[in-house]
Structure 1
């Protein structure tokens, strides 16, 4: 059987692309390796829940407060007004998305992608079947590479895919305790402390009956397990039984090119669409998968392979400004603990809190409140230049 599109990778990006194409009436194959669980805090904004029809059954916790913790242990609690941040567990969530794609009409295969071969009739995707160990071939017109930060598809097909910057994320899923002085099942803790992460941050994110405790870094030689153990001690979770441990690279910059101009387009982590500063990726992965599917649909209709480039164009048109702002914030404040201390202090500001969460919840920078933006800009410069000292209430 030949396919219109073969999707390599069954995470949020690949499963979304496969479902959208199947719903459009296309013949779609979805190839995914079994058993891989990406380390992820699991936070999803309300817009993602709305845009991608995420059912309540997948929301394992509802977060009402975000706590920022500075290197000196100062805490800033930011209430999430008029809503909540949903939490998912990737072990169940990714399988739900793959199963939904299959029920929607995509044909699902379990195995490891090997390569793409081409002849005069077009490309074939070769993968190793998990059960038999044999090589299998799927003929197709287009391929969506959604196989992660170190995408095998991307590195073989897309110039520059080898050069994408990333951090290594590591977390431990533990049995969550009841609410304690240090742990709240309705609060996400984000720890800006060089002892936990010298260039990124650590987190404690509730997942209902479990919790994700982890950190990320782009610096070689950092002992991720020791840093996470230190974070568990700080959060009072040393004795919480550990369920599983996971680590993986997380990209921090979109690739300059997502397609090969011929028959391949990337989506999700393979395309580098994880937000700087926050490391948020699930929403952007699903959006990237949707846009890759839309670009393939256009190319199938017009016969023009150049339409594949529309996926990146559409994504960057709506998100480039947000990504640049977040990159600037990371470059400014994640350099050392003095800067981190000032950043957490800045989070006390009500304008910062309001605009930050409005932007997060709705996935766009808020442009209407001009005076608030100006005030934040002035305060930001003052904190960076040391004109004001970190203050705490």
Structure 2
């Protein structure tokens, strides 16, 4: 049985990126992925992703130039995305593009379901159920990148549910260049709902950490409220989405977590594709560093160096505004502010907090405090 340098478990954006980077660096890599897996995802990606990971424009099924925030009372705030756009990808097509690219770089694609990791006389093996034979099989390896290893019992997560529907004609309810974000406790009591255009289709979904929430019912209510009830449903998907980076990403031996398995999904927004790909890249970098076990810790260090502050700010925003409809109403009201709009999408597109306008940060901080302390009367919200 041949020995791989690295076995990557999970062929989503994180695992496929890690496999691609490692294969291009001359490592022998096996990419293990389940057949037909599609993660529920709105599909929003920043322009920086295209540049950082050489993603062709053809992979974007839509370019959004306006974001509409909708409050519990139906207040709508449209935010123009200046000097850029929010790209949209369909995970069915996008993830396969990434896996195929990794294979062209030299990674060996293996289709099956991960079962466990075994260690015997100094050899580490990834055990999986082969898609074709249905039998257990093994991949001997020196290192393992787990981009789809269960970790939901260790970190908080949202259960997300979405439906891909045929896109309706443009109307007051639906604009193929606008993404709608719905902050309404009737849809999600602790997160949000979304309607994102995907070209000829659209993603309609929501998420919640509250297990009692009926996700299918809430999604149906969202479609009705958005005038999309009569649109044909193409497919439905549901899955947990982690909401906090894990404190440790490696086991001190030969296993390193990446992507969802490491919890790299941004709070407040639930954005995960770009961060997953960054997680895959830093995982590959750690494996390439020197071959020493202690260097696996580099992955988390590199990721948090660049993104820790943004994650902390987004966590604070979710904790402050997602707890009640009264707070959500104030949050949408705050989105009227032009400084909030500009800095929010500059940070989104560039993946870092913009510090070029310190006065704007001060103004936003004061307005945020005024809303949270109810200095701004509810009648003015």
CA contact (8 A) 2:188 2:218 kept: yes
Match of 2:310 in 1: 322
| SS of match in other structure, 2:336 | coil
2:303 matches 1:312: no
Counterparts of residues 82-97 of structure 1 (less than 5 Å)? 82-97=83-98
Normalised TM-score (structure 2): 0.98
2:181 matches 1:184: no
| SS of match in other structure, 2:6 | strand
Deviations 1:212-231 (A, max 9, x none): 00000000111111111111
Counterparts of residues 42-57 of structure 1 (less than 5 Å)? 42-57=43-58
Distance across 1 between alignment mates of 2:139 and 2:297:
23
| SS of match in other structure, 1:204 | strand
CA contact (8 A) 1:203 1:214 kept: yes
Distance across 2 between alignment mates of 1:221 and 1:97:
35
Deviations 1:140-176 (A, max 9, x none): 11000001xxx24xx5xxxxx7321001000011000
Deviation of residue 137 (structure 1)?
Answer: 1.3
Distance across 2 between alignment mates of 1:317 and 1:65:
30
Counterparts of residues 56-71 of structure 1 (less than 5 Å)? 56-71=57-72
| SS of match in other structure, 2:40 | coil
2:322 matches 1:334: yes
2:347 matches 1:359: yes
CA contact (8 A) 1:64 1:80 kept: yes
Residue 273 of structure 2: which of 282, 290, 293 is its match?
282
2:218 matches 1:230: no
Unaligned runs of 5+ in 1: 156-160
Normalised TM-score (structure 1): 0.95
Deviation of residue 389 (structure 1)?
Answer: 3.3
Moved over 6 A (4+): none
Deviation of residue 119 (structure 1)?
Answer: 2.4
2:183 matches 1:195: no
The RMSD of aligned alpha carbons is 1.2
| SS of match in other structure, 2:68 | strand
Distance across 1 between alignment mates of 2:362 and 2:204:
36
CA contact (8 A) 2:50 2:57 kept: no
2:372 matches 1:371: no
Match of 1:270 in 2: 261
Deviation of residue 390 (structure 1)?
Answer: 5.5
Deviation of residue 348 (structure 1)?
Answer: 0.3
Residue 387 of structure 1: which of 358, 375, 381 is its match?
375
